[in-house]
Structure 1
């Protein structure tokens, strides 16, 4: 039976999340919470469904959360009837575009997504390397300087110019940008020439995982071809090296980002995981 998730289901859904964590090939986009109270709070404003067997045991979970211009699918996660669970979630999507994210090797979920009308958009590959290996190459080239903060208008302009696919933060207000970089776990390394920003590396620190994520690496198109990507990568690692509890740097690149992939391979980062992004959009073709 498929039904809305109840507060009493939190332990069973947590067990499914831990089951997912035990094997990389089971990865899907899912709630961050790993405590019952946090999970209940995270699910309060979302569509959350579970599938249970004839004995009432929760076997699978699926949810919908606001995302971009539509919704993000959490799951499907578990060993139950993923097809029926997905169909019920789609019924609750109110015709909005639904994005889904699955490990490339999660063949059961990918088959269910594609059978439900989700189309693969791109694959994102993740790469990692020890911080110390990358930081030893850190240097600021002659004629350049670095800063750890940019005025919102400069950050937004460089963000807009650097990559057509980056759109999310263009809608952020100045206050939202300032609040983001005021977070304790966020760092910015911006490279300037003649006082003008030409690139930046943005980091999110995760001391618990002993890892830092390089969330954005941007070089203005007019400044490319000079090795500034390698410079920013090394400077970002040097920033992370100030935190001895963080030992690895992780970054990512979509399958069409050939320059980024070449940069990471040249710098010695190793591929560690791949995630496929899917979209189901019933509004396509509408006037």
Structure 2
């Protein structure tokens, strides 16, 4: 039976989240909460469904949360009739685009998503290495300087020149950009030449996981071919090394981003996981 999540289901959903955490191949987009109070708060005012087995025990979870221009599917997480659970959640999507994310090796979840009309958009590969191994190569090339700040207009210009598809950042206001880089867990490492920015790397520091995430790396097209990507990677690692609790640096690249994938491989990062991004958009083709 598929029904709305109840407060008394929190322990069962937390058990499903723990089950997912224990095996990378079960990964899907899921609630961040890992205790009952946080889970109830996170699921408040959201579409959250569970599937019961014949014995009445919760077998699977699925939900919808606001995301970008539409919604994101949480799950499907668990076992049993996953396509049926996803289909019931989609009935509550109100025609909005719905994104979903699943580990490449999570075949059960991916089959459920594709059965329900989700289309794979791309695969994101994640790479990791020890911070200390990368940081020891940090240097600023002759003729360049490093800074931890860029004016919003300069940031946007370089971001736009990098021709990346992650274009929603271009819609941020000056205040939103400044607030982002003022966060305690965010760092910017930018290279300039003759006072002009030529590339930057962004980090998010995750002390709880002892990890720094390289969320973005950009080099101006006119400056490519000079190994500045590897320079920025090492400088970002040196920034992470200033925080002794951070031991691992993790980077990501979409399947079409061949230069980034080559950069990480040549720098000694090891592939550690892959996540497939899906979209179901019933609005496509509408006038």
TM, length-normalised to structure 1: 0.97
Q: 1-side partners of 2:74 and 2:51: how far apart?
A: 14
Q: Verify: 1:215 aligned to 2:215, yes or no.
A: yes
Query: 1:279 aligns to what?
Result: 279
- Note if contact 1:59-1:80 (Cα within 8 Å) is conserved in structure 2: yes
- How many residues align structurally? 287
Q: 2-side partners of 1:57 and 1:147: how far apart?
A: 55
Query: 1:250 aligns to what?
Result: 250
Q: Verify: 1:151 aligned to 2:151, yes or no.
A: yes
Q: 2-side partners of 1:7 and 1:174: how far apart?
A: 41
Query: 2:14 aligns to what?
Result: 14
Q: 2-side partners of 1:103 and 1:284: how far apart?
A: 26
Q: 2-side partners of 1:187 and 1:238: how far apart?
A: 11
Query: 2:65 aligns to what?
Result: 65
Structure 2 unaligned regions, length at least 5: none
Q: 2-side partners of 1:93 and 1:235: how far apart?
A: 43
Worse overlay, 49-58 or 83-92: 49-58
Equivalence map 1:32-181=2 (5 Å): 32-181=32-181
Worse overlay, 150-159 or 64-73: 150-159
Q: Verify: 1:183 aligned to 2:183, yes or no.
A: yes
Query: 1:226 aligns to what?
Result: 226
The structural deviation recorded for 1:64 is 0.8
Query: 2:241 aligns to what?
Result: 241
TM, length-normalised to structure 2: 0.97
- Note if contact 1:160-1:166 (Cα within 8 Å) is conserved in structure 2: no
- Note if contact 1:148-1:187 (Cα within 8 Å) is conserved in structure 2: yes
Q: 2-side partners of 1:148 and 1:42: how far apart?
A: 34
Q: 2-side partners of 1:150 and 1:6: how far apart?
A: 47
**Cα RMSD (Å) of the superposition?**
1.1
- Note if contact 1:63-1:73 (Cα within 8 Å) is conserved in structure 2: yes
Q: 1-side partners of 2:126 and 2:215: how far apart?
A: 11
The structural deviation recorded for 1:83 is 1.1
Q: 2-side partners of 1:269 and 1:46: how far apart?
A: 38
Structure 1 unaligned regions, length at least 5: none
Worse overlay, 41-50 or 25-34: 41-50
The structural deviation recorded for 1:168 is 2.0
Structure 1 runs (4+) deviating above 6 angstroms are: none
Q: 1-side partners of 2:156 and 2:40: how far apart?
A: 35
